[in-house]
Amino acid sequence: SLFEIALVHRKSQFWAVGLPLARPAITAGLALVLMEVVSDFGTVEYFAVETLTLGIFNVWLGMNNIVAAAQISLVGFVFILSLLGLELYARSRQRFASTSRATHALRPLHLDLRGQTACILVCCIPLLFGFVIPVGVLLKFVLTGGVV
């Protein structure tokens, strides 16, 4: 497997194999997030945060200039398409070859308690920032009667 080859060549399994294999998924996820940022308006308006989306709506509805709003939107989409094109170009230059059909199961990496705790904490970061903190803020608004 590719991980075994990395071990034989004394390369990091993460940097030499794991990250390059995960890069397309990371780029697709980033593109989805950026497209969501471009499309999201209600939450941003509720929290009164100035963003690209709010700027687009302000130019469109406040200044009554749909052409300028479309140009601002186009900047975001060009950025997203540039990222996707860059990833496609990087993937097109990769070459993979397999000389063996036999696969060997990788031995699991056994962590001590400190390593296990660190892994669990790192995996909980997206859950914390993506769910726990926003729900906590919204609950605070509900319980205080909507006062910011």
Tell me the residue length of the chain: 148
Span of 9-13, 31-35, 43-47, 143-147 with lowest mean pLDDT: 43-47
Specify the pLDDT at position 102: 65
Give the DSSP H or E segment for 142. helix 133-143
Is the pLDDT at 73 greater than 90, yes or no?
A: no
Residue 3 to residue 111: CA distance in whole angstroms: 18
Residues 6+ apart with CB under 8 A from 132: none
> Residue 20, Cβ neighbours under 10 Å: how many?
14
Q: 22 or 102: whose pLDDT is higher?
A: 22
76-133 per-position pLDDT tens digit = 889 888 988 988 888 887 776 656 666 677 788 899 999 999 999 999 998 898 889 9
